[in-house]
Structure 1
Amino acid sequence: MAVANQETDGRRLRGERTRAAVLDTAVELASTDGLDGLTLGRLAGRLGVSKSGLFTHWPDKESLQLAVVERAREQWAERVVRPALDGRGGVRALWALHERRLAFYAEGVLPGGCFFLTAQAEFDDRPGPVQDRLRAQLQEWGGLMTSLAQDAVRAGELSPGTSPGLLAYELDALGQAAVTRSRLLDRQAVFAHARNAVLLRLRGLCTDPGLLPDS
């Protein structure tokens, strides 16, 4: 019985690894070609696996698209959110989120820069489950930044008149601008502007500038 359980666990682990590899590749492809550009055949060819084997995970295109959105969300949490929030809160967490976000883009983790910007532009006028999931992710991201800004106001780190929702919107907009501009203009200059713009904005609102870098 123990051997059978080990074999079952081994197959499950291999299946999970295969699924993760497929979804990571799918996120990369979708960051440039969009979710509609994904096919099981293309993924199978890219990974050197059986197309029929992928059908056991995703029986249709929409189920694959939804899984890719979720994997992109997990990737963002792993590489941006969790490192930024590790031991931080309030204004320092807001700044760390922006720094980690810019690093994610600058390091070229995804060939298209940002999966979510590509997907949102593709599905912004296409109602359905995929649009709903993308909207939920956008709301979750904005809600996180708004909550951190609210915490910073309550802690006295940001001026009392600060609007948490507006600040979150501004920070996100500056992060988004860095993606498209860095692909068309001088990358170093764009990322420097994106960093300095947010730093100046936060320092202008922060009651204790020592919580933030000087430059």
Structure 2
Amino acid sequence: MAEIETALREFVMVAYKKQTYMNILYLLFSFPLGTAYFVFLVTGLSLGFGLLLVWIGIPVLVLVFLAWWEIASFERQMAIWLLGIDIPSMSLKPVNEKSILGRALYRVKSPVTWKALLFLLVKFPLGIFSLVVMAFLVSLTLGMLINPILYLVGESFASSLQEAILVSISGIFVGLASMHVLNLLAHISGSFAKRMLSGYEKQADVSLVEEMNS
């Protein structure tokens, strides 16, 4: 009985947690940002490779290359701020190079750079999926909550006012369940960001080697 009460309390308390709304905010940002990243990267890379024969493509590719690192850094920081997760630094060691070319060469060698590119490209379909799921859950919840009003204006599927009220009450539970679904989706997005926007694997390997040596 105590386990059921605890589970029910956790189910209801999702609506009172600040992190729930931070997660929803992160998911809301996913679609517009993912679209912007995809358009920028596809356009920039296509233009850069297309102009390689006249050499103009080289500085274009360098600029796009440096830009996607900065964008990925922003995404990493946003995930830390909104999702409350700890993501290790994208750089495995301090960058001492001051020239653009030197920094570019350093980042070319970093596997995080290429994982970050994949993350930014995948964020576009992930943002679309998040938007569709969120729109569906919000529409379903609101439609159930206002069902008595819909019944009074003749737009409800309920056969009686009592049934419409029961649907509306059920909408509260559907809304709470929707928050749990969005939290899960945000958790998956956060885990993906942590995997792709950090030097986690190499840092873990280094720590393991240090422990073995000690």
Q: Which has the higher contact order (CA 8 A, sep 6+)?
A: 2
Q: Do both proteins adopt the same fold according to a TM-score greater than 0.5, normalized to the shorter chain? A: no
Larger radius of gyration, structure 1 or 2?
A: 2
Normalised by the size of structure 1, how large is the TM-score? 0.29
